[in-house]
């Protein structure tokens, strides 16, 4: 019996040591993977700083003409820190972007509109561009403030306008509205509602999730969408890299 007990004890020790060994090995693997991600993050940060300092010749000249309209989606939690948004806009102005749409789902940036316009030099509301020369700046940064109410609610209002126009119009009995409900008509109705229908070329999403968070859907048909991570950790180099990457994108629009 002593031998059996000894064998059982020995088996138990072996099992425990084996378990400990496997556990340590597993932690080692996790350490290696974590170190890999840390190193990747460091490389990305270094690259970003190198781009910011102009050390990377590839990013020194960007064909910004291709980027006619840029949109920025900011998560509502991060939109509360307006200073970061202002810093981002200043960077975009430095890069040469001329038109920026700022979106957050609850309209927090809309409420801070005056502060942003007052702080970012050369910025004007996009509606004011083309009117009397309100900005002395030769290259103003046109800003548009957008929220969720400009998405589905706006389409709903535009649909109502189309409906009212259709019902009031004199049309043949068999007219099913084929000539009344086209993209052009809805564009026009959205303009009547006060919405901008220009589609941004590039949409930068700042926040924890890769979603456009309700940006006006009608405008997003062929927009490039890039997730930039948290606004709190934004880097000039990453921004430049994203815009540079966009300028190299070729779209065949489904054909």
Partner 1 sequence: MLSLLSSLLSLLFVFLISCCIITNHFSFRPLSLLKLLGFIKFTASRDDDNNYKRDEGTYVVGEEELQRELMPRHVAVIMDGNRRWAKREGLLTSQGHEAGAKRLIDFSELCFKLGIHTVSAFAFSTENWGRHKIEVKCLMSLIQHYLKSKIQYFQREETRVSIIGNLTKIPESLRQTIHEIEEATKSYKKKHLVLAIDYSGRLDILRACKSIVHKSETGLIREEDVDEALIERELLTNSTEFPSPDLLIRTSGEQRISNFFLWQLAYTELFFSPVHWPDFDKDKLVEALVSYQRRERRFGCRV
Shortest distance in whole angstroms from residue 164 CB to partner 1: 6
Q: Does 34 bind partner 1 (CB under 8 A)?
A: yes
Selected from 177, 192, 194, 233, the binder of partner 1 by CB under 8 A is: 177
Smallest distance, Å, CB 44 to partner 1? 17
H-run or E-run covering 91 = helix 82-95
Size of the site for partner 1 (CB under 8 A): 60
Residues 6+ apart with CB under 8 A from 9: none
Q: Footprint of partner 1 on residues 201-240 (CB under 8 A)?
A: 208-215, 217-218, 220-227
* Residues 56-115 contacting partner 1, CB under 8 A: 75-77, 105-106
The reply on whether position 23 binds partner 1 by CB under 8 A is: yes
Judged by CB under 8 A, does residue 15 bind partner 1?
A: no
CB neighbourhood size of 55 (10 A): 12
* Shortest spacing between CB 186 and partner 1, in angstroms: 6
Q: CA-CA distance, 85 to 248, in Å (whole number)? A: 26
Q: Does 119 bind partner 1 (CB under 8 A)?
A: no
Got the DSSP string for 192-209?
HHT---PPPSEEEEESSS
Q: What is the nearest approach in angstroms of partner 1 to the Cβ of residue 4?
A: 27
- For residue 152, state whether it binds partner 1 (rule: CB under 8 A): yes
Binds partner 1 by CB under 8 A, chosen from 3, 4, 167, 248: 167
Q: Evaluate whether 147 touches 107 at the Cβ level (below 8 Å).
A: yes
Contact status, residue 96 vs residue 88, Cβ threshold 8 Å:
no
* Secondary structure class of 71 (helix, strand, coil): strand
Helix (H, G, I), strand (E, B) or coil at 143: strand
226, β-bridge pairs: 204
37 counts as binding partner 1 under rule CB under 8 A: no
**Three-state DSSP state, 70:** strand
Distance CA 217, CA 149 (A): 12
Q: How far is the CB of 238 from partner 1 (least distance, A)?
A: 15
Sites of contact with partner 1 (CB under 8 A): 19, 21-31, 34, 75-77, 105-106, 148, 151-153, 155-156, 159-160, 162-164, 166-167, 176-177, 181-183, 186, 208-215, 217-218, 220-227, 249, 251, 253-255
């Amino acid at each position: 019996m002593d031998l059996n007990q000894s064998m059982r004890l020995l088996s138990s020790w072996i099992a425990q040591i084996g378990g400990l060994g496997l556990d340590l090995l597993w932690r080692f693997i996790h350490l290696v993977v974590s170190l890999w991600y840390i190193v990747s993050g460091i490389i990305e940060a270094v690259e970003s700083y190198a781009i910011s300092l102009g050390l990377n010749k590839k990013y020194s000249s960007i064909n910004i003409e291709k980027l006619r309209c840029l949109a920025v989606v900011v998560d509502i939690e991060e939109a509360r820190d307006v200073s970061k948004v202002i810093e981002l806009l200043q960077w975009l102005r430095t890069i040469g972007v001329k038109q920026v749409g700022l979106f957050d789902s609850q309209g927090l940036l809309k409420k801070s509109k005056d502060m942003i316009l007052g702080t970012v030099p050369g910025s004007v509301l996009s509606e004011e561009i083309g009117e009397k020369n309100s900005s002395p700046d030769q290259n103003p940064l046109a800003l548009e403030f957008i929220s969720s109410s400009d998405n589905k609610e706006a389409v709903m209002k535009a649909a109502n306008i189309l409906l009212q126009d259709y019902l009031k119009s004199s049309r043949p009995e068999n007219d099913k509205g084929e000539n009344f409900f086209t993209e052009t008509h809805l564009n026009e109705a959205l303009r009547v509602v006060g919405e901008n229908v220009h589609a941004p070329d590039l949409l930068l999403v700042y926040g924890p999730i890769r979603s456009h968070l309700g940006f006006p859907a009608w405008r997003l048909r062929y927009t490039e969408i890039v997730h930039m991570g948290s606004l709190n950790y934004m880097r000039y180099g990453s921004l430049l890299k994203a815009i540079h990457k966009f300028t190299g994108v070729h779209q065949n629009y489904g054909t």
